[in-house]
Amino acid sequence: MSAETEPTPQIPRDTGTTREVIRLDQVTKRFGDNTVLDQLNFTVDAGKHVTLIGPSGSGKTTILRLLMTLVQPDEGIITVDGEQLYPAPEKQVREVRKKIGMVFQQFNLFPNMKVLRNVTEAPVTVLGMSKDEAEARARELLELVGLADKCDAYPTHLSGGQQQRVAIARALAMRPQVLLLDEVTSALDPELVAGVLDVLRDIAHSTDITMLCVTHEMSFARDISDQVLMFDSGRVIESGSPEKLFGDPDHERTREFLSTIL
C-alpha cells in the first residue's frame, strides 16, 4: 500500500459521554509576594465528585473562591461548562457564575428571614423564578435535607447542623451544575457533623451534580469522591482514586499529610 492510500490512524472519538464542567488552565494567584497557586491545571468532568486535600494554606480554598469570582487570578484561564469565567466581560461572568453554588464554613443565612425565604430569595430575585415555583422547589429541597418541618423557623432557632443543611438547600435551589463545598463541617460541634455529611452523601449519590469539595473529613472524601487531588504549595502533587490516594499514595508528602489527619 502506498503512503497516499494508507488509512489515517484513527484517534478514539470523544463519545460525548464526558463533558468538562470545570477547567483551570495555567492559573496563577498571588497575594502580594505569596504565590498561592502556581500555574495550576485541572479539570472536573460533569457529574464527578472531586475532593481537594492538603495542608492548611496550600491554596485549596482559593480555588473555590476563584470559581465563585470572589477573587481573580493573576494569570490563566478558568472555564465553566465550556464558557469562560475568567477572563471574560462582566455580563458573561454573571451568567457563568450562576452555574456554580457554594456552601461555606460559616452558613451565612439571612437572619431576618425564615428558612423557606432563605431558600427562595435568590431563585426569585436572581433567576426570576415565580414565588410559587420557588416555594415548591424550596419545600422539596428542605425535605431532601431533612428540614421539611422547619420552613417557618428563623435561622437562630436552629442548630448549626440544621443551619448548614438550610445553606445546602439554598445553594441547590439555584440549580447549579457545580456545588463547591468548603470545609462545610468545620464550624460545627462534633455531634452535628454526621447529619450534614449524611445529607451531602445522599446528594452526591442521588443527583448528577458535579461537586468540588475541600474537606478534612477523610471518610466522607473516601465515600463520595471519584477523584482526590493532593495539594501542596499551590500545586497538585498527586491525584487518583480515593482507594489509591488514601490506601497507597505515591508521594511522600501525601503520606506525611495523611498521617497527620487520619
Least distance from ligand ADP to the Cβ atom of residue 183, Å: 8
Counts for the chain of helices (H) and strands (E), in that order: 9, 10
Chain positions 24 to 53 lying near ligand ADP, rule: CB under 6 A, are: 31, 34, 36
Which residue carries 437572619 as its cell? 111
Least distance from ligand ADP to the Cβ atom of residue 152, Å: 36
Q: What angle do CA 38, 43, 48 make, to 5 degrees?
A: 135
Taking the alpha carbons at both ends of the chain, their separation in whole angstroms is 61
Chain positions 203 to 222 lying near ligand ADP, rule: CB under 6 A, are: 214
Among 59, 73, 242, 249, binds ligand ADP (CB under 6 A): 59
| Position 233, amino acid | S
Does residue 73 touch ligand ADP according to CB under 6 A?
Answer: no
Among 2, 15, 17, 56, binds ligand ADP (CB under 6 A): 56
Does residue 58 touch ligand ADP according to CB under 6 A?
Answer: yes
All three cell numbers of 73, joined, read 487570578
Task: Point out which span in 10-18, 57-65, 84-92, 157-165 binds ligand ADP (CB under 6 A).
Answer: 57-65
On the CB side of 248, CA atoms within 13 Å amount to: 2
Which residue carries 493532593 as its cell? 230
Q: How many residues bind ligand ADP (CB under 6 A)?
A: 12
Q: What angle do CA 110, 174, 111 make, to 5 degrees?
A: 5
Binding positions for ligand ADP, rule: CB under 6 A: 31, 34, 36, 54, 56-62, 214
